[in-house]
Structure 1
Amino acid sequence: MHTSRLFTVIDSHTAGHPTRVVTSGIPPLQGRSVREQRDDFRARYDGLRTLLLHEPRGHAAMAGAIPVPSTIADQGLFFVFSYSYADMCGHATIGYVASLAALGSLPRGFEQDGMSIETPAGIVHVKGTFEAGRLTSVILRNVPCYVMASDVVVEADGFGRVTCDIAYSGITYALVDADTFELPFDIANAGRWCRAGMAIKDALNSISNNPKTDSVLFYRSTDGGARHLVVLAGNKFDRSPCGTGTSARLAQLHRRGAIAPGASYRAENIMGVPFVAAIAELAESRSGQPAVIPEVRGMAHLSAFSTLVLEAEDPLPSGFLPG
């Protein structure tokens, strides 16, 4: 076997959605900030994203977390996906912390003080809960989150008129009440929800004065929270309740006077696995808009410690992804 590249990775899932933490094999990146390093990776090494996340080593729903140095936080981290990049990812941050714990590599003092992580969206903070020295959950304090537009109405191709709010939480979400659709809200119908989500996203992004929408979060209210389904792309949905999506939902609820700081919000994925979240404090966005600082608690579970190999003769060195 003649190998041209080797990568060590740790795979986990956070409430069902996968994270692949790449622990070695990424070339040195240029840039002082994490955003600059992420952009350098995208410009020079995007083929490694597809190699690591596409078939035959990954799949359409695979997400990756790449640790890098930070000059302003304890650690830098950026996020890659089978289909794109994102400035922030809550479930992958939780997966990264769980992977550090499994390696025995949490920073000294983490049990007392947690750690700061620089992401392309800004600095987030994480801490953990422990039982007998074992990590049992990760608590993510996100960047300031806020509503960008309320009661936006669009005509979604094939689904008619849809009303949504648009909120920023590290990325930008359209938030849509699932009860306005005559579709069963379950995993068996995830493909139909993906089509609805993409129709809404395309309609929103076709309007020049609307904020660019990255993902669509459908929610169905439950006692003490809601069930979430986040549409990422045409055939991709978040298996977890979505950390950044939950943060956007808290911003929406606070704007509407429906949740107070400190009140608990239970965000379930489409299979009923929860995150628990709350507004930790009120803040302002960089542009001065009223914002909230959410805390989201969840846990990741490890599935593999692996070495990924690219042979020199591999006819598909960048992998492939069916439509």
Structure 2
Amino acid sequence: MRVTTCEMHTCGEPLRIVETGLPDIIGNTILDKVAFIRENCDDIRKYCVDNGIVEAEEPETLVNIQCPCGLIPTYVSSNKERSGRVRFHSVPSFVLQMDVSVRVPKIGVITVDISYGGAFYAFVSTDALGLTSKAADALTAVEVGQAVTNAIKKLIKIKHPENEDLGFLAGTIIVDRTGLDTKNLVRQMAVFADHELDRSPCGSGTAAHIALLHAKGLLGVNCEKTFQSIVNDSKFVGRVIRKATCGLFDAVIAEVGGNAYYTGRSLFTSEDEDPLMTGFTSRPRMTAHTIET
């Protein structure tokens, strides 16, 4: 097997684009294709989307990206020599529930908001969790954020109004809004999947946060806010570009902009006689900050 990839990062969050070497992925939607890979190519353990070459246009190139949540129009600043800043328009983003009380083991009762921006996230303040908005708290935040996610999953059945496959809580976003009024700045970090920490401010999480701020009356249409990663201080800029609906929910279309950079290209090969060609996983969950749930 020979697989070629392009390596990038978006505000510090690694991204690997598989270019060649995978089998044909069967399915009508991205969710169908993800399911096909999971069931038939699990040893590869990579998501794959159809891709091709898009001819650059100045000053901006439109690239439509098919994501599990739907089609995402993406605009890439470009000139004859290179691409630049990227912005995308979210799917209809909305608040599912506000001011939800949830008891988290070893923390107590906290209040969270649940919002959708391509995936569902719970939003909770650093103060409620006894954390600061410093990168030094990131390890603790992973364990605490995962505990919050687990507690909410036991309490609430998440449902998307139009697609049942999107009805799950992707993670918890821990936020510090103390700079919202004075600096027009929100600091946040997203804990998602299984104890994963997003290095970037989180694209879908930022769209969900924009919908939440709009619903709270803290962000008007076409008013920009800066969303900064607590992990590495990288920034996205976001705004509401128009109002929308999703099922019976009032929603917004959010625009999120940032930068991504190429970091290299890779060629992966395997030999048929290699007994470990599909790899193995060894990931203990023992840390000084582990919270039992």
TM-score (ref. length: structure 1): 0.78
Alignment of 1:54-73 (within 5 A): 66-68=48-50
**Distance in 1 between residues matched to 2:157 and 2:203, nearest whole Å:** 27
Equivalent residue, structure 2, for 1:267: 227
More helix by share: 1
Listed as ranges, the matches of 1:129-278 within 5 Å are 129-130=77-78, 133-209=81-157, 212-221=168-177, 222=179, 223-270=183-230, 271-278=232-239
Query: In structure 2, the residue corresponding to 1:307 is in which secondary structure?
Result: strand
Listed as ranges, the gaps of 5+ residues in structure 1 are: 53-64, 69-74, 76-99
Tell me if the contact between 2:11 and 2:259 (Cα under 8 Å) persists in the aligned partners: yes
- What CA deviation, in whole Å up to 9, does each residue of 1:268-293 have, x standing for no partner? 112211011111111001x1310011
1:284 corresponds to: 245
Letter in 2 for 1:194: V
Other-structure match for 2:290: none
Cα distance in 2, alignment partners of residues 180 and 36 from structure 1: 39
Letter in 1 for 2:225: Y
Q: In structure 1, what is the equivalent of residue 40 of structure 2?
A: 44
Q: Map Cα deviations across residues 60-93 of structure 1 (whole Å, 9 max, x no partner).
A: xxxxx5222xxxxxx6xxxxxxxxxxxxxxxxxx
Displacement after TM superposition at 1:9 (Å): 0.4
CA-based RMSD of the aligned residues comes to 1.9
Q: CA deviation at 1:8?
A: 0.2
SS at match of 1:170: coil
Unaligned regions of 5+ residues in structure 2, if any? 160-167, 285-293
C-alpha deviation, 1:109, in angstroms: 4.3
User: How far apart, CA to CA, are the structure 2 residues paired with 1:110 and 1:214?
Assistant: 36
CA distance in 1, matches of 2:63, 2:95: 27
CA distance in 2, matches of 1:160, 1:110: 53
Find the aligned partners of 1:205 and 1:187 in 2 and give their Cα distance. 27
2:14 aligned partner: 18
- Is the CA contact 1:162–1:200 (under 8 Å) kept in the aligned structure 2? no
Contact 1:204–1:210 (CA under 8 A) maintained in structure 2: no
The CA distance in 2 between the partners of 1:192 and 1:141, in whole Å, is 32
Give the percent of matched residue pairs that are identical in Structure 1 and Structure 2: 27
Decide whether the 8 Å contact of 1:194 with 1:233 is kept in 2. Answer: no
Task: Give the Å deviation of 1:112.
Answer: 4.6
* Structure 1 SS opposite 2:213: helix
Whether the 8 Å contact between 2:126 and 2:132 is mirrored in structure 1 is no
Q: State the aligned residue count.
A: 270
